[in-house]
Amino acid sequence: MASHIQSPSRDLPRPGIACTLTRVSITLLRHYFEFTAGLLCTSPSTNSPFITVVLPLAYTDELLMHTVLALSGTHLECRQSRRHAGSMAAVDPEMQHATGLHYQKIISGLRCEMVNFDTANNQKQTRILLILIMACHYEAISGDKSGMMLQHLRASRKLVRRLLIQPQGSSNIDQESLGFSLELYAYLSIVNSLASYRNTGELAQPYDTFLTSLDGLSSYSTFGSMFAGCHSLYELIPHISQLSVEYLAGEKILGDDWIPSSKLRLCYESIEHRIATWKLPSSLDSEAQYKTSDITAAAEAIRHGLYIYLTTSFYGSSRPDPIAQSQLGVEADIVLALATSVKDINIRTILLWPCIIAGSCMVHEEQQKRLISALLSSGFDMKHLFNLCEMLELMWNENDASVYGPYGLYSLMEKRNKYIPFL
């Protein structure tokens, strides 16, 4: 599990009203900086922006602090339940009640902020963006299946689009908070790529060119805390998602007569070349050097996950032929072997996406069991992880040949009217 870290309270003002809402609220704050924050990004706990950026702001911002405490509380619930074989009876009812109260404060506070929203105030927009992104984490970890996280992302997108047109270095914007929030938004939007298959309704996630070129974020001091040098790999996920959506659109119109255009094929080949030739940047920051082998393994897992995602994109809603399935199964094995070789828990934070993408193409029971075992023993006691494992098992047991691959996983979620978010 994440190592304990020093409380930052020496250098911060006394906690505000949010931390006195209940008797256990201050315990939730302690749990956040000792455990929760260390499981949310690739940076070591000692310099994680979830500590260095979020906490100082939360100490002077009651709504942000409520978000921190609710997030910590739902994580603590998961840990308590997990320790007792999933029994909710093991969860401290007082702590559970406190978490619910803090969550109510988030929702009522955001509603109030939206009523009085000032589109000309960039500083307030940056503040609300960070709160929304933190709320996304709460929704995922709490196990929400209604798509509330995607709704928060859509609301965040409006703020991101406004803030991106502001000149970098604007004096009225907290640059650290902005940079970290933008990277968090980009990361969550990208790894929740299955949502791009839905093209209508409030849970639809529009295609954003911003997500396909993340170099603009590299000037912010917190850059890399989510991507760990792999941002140019992540940029390919939205490209592949769009490719898959276009393929499915053609298939829907022409059925078996559908043949991808030369433009679509060239796009496929271009992405395939970028995946094949990608190299981890040689200039990892000095603090990450000791993790290089783990980062390399994680990057390779993502790279092979991308290959699976790309290959299945040109099968549309159909199941690949047995030869292709066999090749995809080999790729899935590679992803699993690489993912399980990563020892550093911070670096493991970026492995869920490739593991689930790989899992969607696993057809052999032994392979499936190894993946579920690896995910459940990864050190992340969070409900979205358990829900994704459950969805994979439902997928593997589905008596429908078309339920295969990333699109098959999305289709099963749609069929059951559930969306399981990724972190």
Condensed to tens digits (0 to 9), the pLDDT of residues 85-119 reads: 655 557 789 999 999 999 999 999 999 998 888 88
Nearest alpha carbon to residue 309 among 279, 278, 275, 284: 275
Mean pLDDT, the chain, whole residue set = 90
Mean pLDDT, range 307-323, rounded to an integer: 95
pLDDT at position 292: 79
User: 229-252, pLDDT tens digit by residue?
Assistant: 999 999 999 999 999 999 999 999
What residue type is 373 in one-letter code? S
Exposure of 381 in the CB half-sphere (CA atoms within 13 A):
19
**265-to-247, 259, 352 alpha-carbon distances in Å:** 10, 10, 29
pLDDT at position 114: 86
Nearest alpha carbon to residue 28 among 110, 138, 129: 138
For residue 154, what are the contacts with CB-CB under 8 A and spacing of at least 6?
Answer: 202, 205
pLDDT at position 171: 61
8-state DSSP, 283: -
Could you tell me where the DSSP H helices lie in 16-168? 25-34, 49-52, 54-58, 62-83, 93-115, 122-142, 148-164
Q: Phi first, then psi: give them for residue 338, nearest 5 degrees.
A: -65, -45
**Domain boundaries in the chain?**
117-415
10 confidence band (pLDDT: 50, 70, 90): very low
Q: Which residue has the higher pLDDT, 16 or 269?
A: 269
Q: State yes or no: pLDDT of 290 exceeds 80.
A: no
169 confidence band (pLDDT: 50, 70, 90): low
pLDDT at position 287: 46
For residues 96 and 270, give the distance between their C-alpha atoms in angstroms, rounded to a whole number: 50
- Lowest mean per-residue pLDDT among 1-10, 156-165, 185-194, 409-418: 1-10
- Lowest mean per-residue pLDDT among 132-141, 166-175, 268-277, 375-384: 166-175
Ramachandran region of residue 380, left (φ > 0), alpha (ψ -120 to 50) or beta? beta
pLDDT at position 166: 78
What residue type is 55 in one-letter code? L
User: 128-152, pLDDT tens digit by residue?
Assistant: 999 999 999 999 999 999 999 999 9
Within 10 Å of residue 338's Cβ, how many Cβ atoms? 23
Q: State yes or no: pLDDT of 11 exceeds 70.
A: no
